[in-house]
Amino acid sequence: MTIFHANAEPGGAAPLRRQTERFDISGRLRAGAGGYEIRLRSRQGGRNHAVHTHFNLVADSGDLIERRPLDAQAARFIIDNFEARGDTASFDIFASDLTGSGMREREPVATDPKSIRHQLTGSEQSYTATGTKLAYHQPIFDKYRETGFASIIRATMTLHQVCASKCPYCSTIRRNRADAITLDEAKAFVTALGEDQARYNRDNFAVYNDRYREATGADIGLRGLILSGGGQPNLWPHFAEFVDWLAGLDMDLGLITNGFPPHIDEDIYRHFQWIRLSITPEDASPHYPGQRFDAQYMPETIRHNDALTVGLSYVHGPWTDDDILARIDGALEDNGFDYCRVLADCNLSRSAQLAAHGALAERLFQLGFIDVDGQPLKRIFHQLKYHGEGTEAEELWDGGQCFLQVYNTFWDTTGHEANGHSACYPCDSVTVLAGDEEPERRFDAERWGTHSNTDVAKLYTEHVRPFFDPRQNCAACLFMRNNRMVKELSSAGGLDFTPGEPPEHINFP
């Protein structure tokens, strides 16, 4: 149901407003900056909101004509058609619709992923989860095949839900700032998956544990832990103390953040094996001096540090111009960082996402960042990550169970304040599953949750079982390749999937 609230003339004093079942949408003139902005706020909890300031003008062929700042006409068009087009596709406007008499029905343009200029490189395999690194953990998949028990070797923690940025593509727009965990809860989670899990495997699965120790030098337990979530895990009050404590454990650490608060001791970052800094649209972050990401504070300990892998992450969209891509390239050079992965907005539906990937690849080619075959020429690489589809889902999950449960867990704190605990999920991408429906843009434990943080040990002390049917809940999964890899490693018994050139960071498969 759409409830129409108010709709004043663009440029007048009152803003454009519309309310759908899921969002409050408002458009207004931007104070001081010129042009319009459109704000989206979820109606289903959380106080966070996303701000859009640009849109893509698209030809009937689906090709991008240009990126434009929102003006009065475009803002009205988007708000008038928001319910039909959704919270992401609304910002791609066909030029003929904008100049004509309204929005026409269109068939989605089917882009074949194979037609996109792209090469799967060593960087993409090392610095993103393509599934390749799973082959280095074969004994845990033998254990799963022969016993039905999982081995949680990789985990991600969100710690809290705090972020000051207003990214248009935010995957957790419906988060609640009050959902934070305590230091004791954080340590209990890591102890259960680390020390306790290793002991459990030594005692109960000695054969597989010995094989794993021979292959990796460690017991079967948590090998890679990522601190992420809410945009800035390093704003969590216990961040430095927690990282100091983690540094004494036998596991590799990764950090995903939107920035570096100046009050944090710079030496704390030396404990990470890798750090990935997300570059937001420059008008979405309050931390960018003069709205320039490359003017933000960078700890000296992460610059030109050969002992630490530092990468940037950038989502390409209507907010992107050539200048920012050139400055990302310059920032990699200036800071001695290792890479920047660039990808399309994961909130888009599969067809729109593939079209966006195609446009991104062509832009990288035109700007000289990739060659004619899609091979990176500099440190920027294109991560070709896109939604799956129903036919593949039916064939892949013939047993009705997600395979990421076999080795991975993602603890998100959504609901923690109200319930005193919160759920673990098999992956982080359930918030952006854009299939036939709009993505949820929040973690929904009823739909995708496994065990809560207080019961996390059950992930490896009980038989793996389906918590939900991914054929129904996850047909647009972004990790079908990883699911397929687990399925094959767990069923092939003896096939060698390890690539010739070992990737880096094998404890973050």
The site for ligand SF4 (CB under 6 A) is made up of 402, 404, 426-427, 429-430, 433, 448, 470, 474, 477, 479, 483
Residues whose CB falls within 8 Å of the CB of residue 200, separated by 6 or more in sequence, listed in order: 457, 460, 461
Provide the minimum distance between the beta carbon of 496 and ligand SF4 in the complex, in angstroms, as a whole number: 24
Provide the minimum distance between the beta carbon of 417 and ligand SF4 in the complex, in angstroms, as a whole number: 24
Return d(Cα 51, Cα 54) in angstroms, integer: 10
Identify the sign of the CA torsion 464, 466, 470, 474: negative
Provide the minimum distance between the beta carbon of 364 and ligand SF4 in the complex, in angstroms, as a whole number: 27
Q: Which of 316, 283, 317 is nearest to 90 (CA)?
A: 317
Of 364 and 477, CB closest to ligand SF4: 477
Provide the minimum distance between the beta carbon of 478 and ligand SF4 in the complex, in angstroms, as a whole number: 6
Of 310 and 475, CB closest to ligand SF4: 475
Classified as helix, coil or strand, 85 is helix
What are the helix (H) ranges across 286-370?
Answer: 322-335, 350-366
Provide the minimum distance between the beta carbon of 48 and ligand SF4 in the complex, in angstroms, as a whole number: 22
Of 235 and 475, CB closest to ligand SF4: 475
Residue 45 in contact with residue 31, Cβ under 8 Å? no
Provide the minimum distance between the beta carbon of 412 and ligand SF4 in the complex, in angstroms, as a whole number: 12
Phi and psi at 187, nearest 5°, equal -65, -40
Provide the minimum distance between the beta carbon of 448 and ligand SF4 in the complex, in angstroms, as a whole number: 5
The three state secondary structure string of 126-156 is HHCCCCHHHHHHHHHHHHHHHHCECCCCEEE
Of 169 and 319, CB closest to ligand SF4: 169
Residues whose CB falls within 8 Å of the CB of residue 318, separated by 6 or more in sequence, listed in order: 52, 54, 55, 56, 67, 68, 91, 92, 168
Return d(Cα 418, Cα 413) in angstroms, integer: 11
Residues whose CB falls within 8 Å of the CB of residue 223, separated by 6 or more in sequence, listed in order: 137, 153, 154, 216, 251, 252, 507
Provide the minimum distance between the beta carbon of 161 and ligand SF4 in the complex, in angstroms, as a whole number: 20
Residues whose CB falls within 8 Å of the CB of residue 187, separated by 6 or more in sequence, listed in order: 242, 245
Of 156 and 429, CB closest to ligand SF4: 429
Of 291 and 491, CB closest to ligand SF4: 491
Of 192 and 424, CB closest to ligand SF4: 424
Of 78 and 432, CB closest to ligand SF4: 432
Provide the minimum distance between the beta carbon of 396 and ligand SF4 in the complex, in angstroms, as a whole number: 9
Return d(Cα 432, Cα 414) in angstroms, integer: 15
Of 239 and 411, CB closest to ligand SF4: 411
Of 162 and 433, CB closest to ligand SF4: 433
In the numeric block, which tokens belong to residue 353? 């996402």
Beta-carbon count within 10 A of 367 CB:
15
Provide the minimum distance between the beta carbon of 390 and ligand SF4 in the complex, in angstroms, as a whole number: 13
Q: How far is CA 153 from the centre of its chain?
A: 19
156-165 burial, b for 16+ CB within 10 Å, e for fewer?
A: bbbbbbbbeb
Phi and psi at 43, nearest 5°, equal -95, 0
Provide the minimum distance between the beta carbon of 342 and ligand SF4 in the complex, in angstroms, as a whole number: 22
Return d(Cα 500, Cα 509) in angstroms, integer: 17
Return d(Cα 457, Cα 449) in angstroms, integer: 15
Return d(Cα 25, Cα 168) in angstroms, integer: 12
Of 133 and 363, CB closest to ligand SF4: 133
